[in-house]
Structure 1
Amino acid sequence: MNSFDNNNSIFICGQFQCCGTKSRQMGIYVAGMLFALGWWMFIDGLSFSSTLPDRKAYAGFEDWAPGIITTFGMIIVCLIDKEALRGSTFDDGIPWRARFFLFVGFALMAGGFAGSVSVLVVKYVMHDLELIDSYIGIGTVVQCGLIMLSTAVLWIAQDANMDNELRIS
């Protein structure tokens, strides 16, 4: 019996175990915290910029759109069944459709992040605004980055749970 066959181990990396039975719960909680922190950064930037007495830039839809697009991408990516990606179902069209929607989800997240960087540069940096006036733009970039990180954590946590379920059954 190999020392890596122990089910009490906390890791799963190839043959090695590195994710325990609580890994999915912890991953979901961490992903939720990152997602909430991202939106909190954006809302903090909105509320902070609205309290500035002589603000030079006003928040508009262009500030909201990257976070909304990135959130839609996260929803699409996290709703995809990983078994459909592996092609273990009987219908040949399912893996193709799952991979297409996975691509769409990641493209939305990347587009939202790129949009947030573009808004930061075009609206705040190119107009030589001070850091205090650019806080909403920085908050939007941080928001999109945290949502993308949240998606990665949730994706890994879901995969770890599937490996644990396969080992238990």
Structure 2
Amino acid sequence: MSSLLENLNIPTCIWFEGGDKRNALASIFAGFLFFTGWWILIDAASVHSGSVLAGYHMCGVFGTLSLIMVNSVSNAQIRGDAFEGGCMGPRGSRIWLFLGFVMGFASVIASCWILFADFVAIEHTVQWPGVALFIQNAFIFISSLIYKFGRSEDLWG
């Protein structure tokens, strides 16, 4: 019975190999999460046009700026291995990364605040726009983390 499946050869899929495909997979998955987050909010804004105010979109804009800020510096720049010039050297890149994470956390916290203050506490008939706003910002923040720490070049130097 043990020799029944020994001669069965299943070819490996190119996209699910580790190692050299890790950067591509992390980039694809992070981009998909970023796209899905914005798509969910755009859907909620189009279906429930009166419930999503124009100011609510600022959470997603700040989350997107946070994604750009966090992923614009590499770990080599933060460690000081590849970055000696500039305004403040490695310290400047660390401050830039910190500010990017603060903006990301702030956008997630602000979207959570909007969800509970404007959609749950007041008892709207439709709560989906608030949930969509929170999901959008959570997906953008998670995609930022996946792209930053899921890439082997940044993670292992």
TM-score range, shorter chain: 0.7 to 0.9
Q: In the alignment, which residue of structure 1 is the partner of 2:110?
A: 115
Which residue is 1:66 aligned to?
Answer: 59
Root mean square deviation of aligned Cα: 2.1
Alpha-carbon distance between aligned partners in 1 of 2:118 and 2:36, rounded to the nearest angstrom: 23
CA contact under 8 A between 1:113 and 1:144: conserved in structure 2? yes
The partner residue of 2:72 within 75, 79, 88 is 79
Are the aligned partners of 1:109 and 1:148 in contact in 2 as well (CA < 8 Å)?
yes
Aligned CA distance change for structure 1 residues 41 and 163 (closer, same or farther; 3 Å): closer
Amino acid at match of 2:103: L
Cα distance between partner residues in 2 of 1:157 and 1:27: 6
Alignment coverage as a number of residue pairs:
139
- SS of structure 2 residue aligned to 1:21: helix
Unaligned residue ranges in structure 2 (runs of 5+):
1-16
When normalised by structure 2's length, the TM-score is 0.81
What's the % identity of the aligned pairs?
Answer: 23
Report if the CA contact (8 A) 2:48-2:129 is conserved. yes
Q: In the superposition, relative to structure 1, how do residues 94 and 138 fare at CA in structure 2: closer, same or farther (>3 Å)?
A: same
CA deviation digits over 1:92-112, x for unaligned, max 9? Answer: 931100110001100000010
Normalized against structure 1, the TM-score is what?
0.75
The structure 1 residue matched to 2:147, chosen from 140, 150, 154, is 154
Q: Distance in 2 between matches of 1:126 and 1:58?
A: 15
Paired residues of 1:45 and 1:135 also in contact (CA < 8 A):
yes
Cα 1:103–1:58 change in 2 (3 A) is same
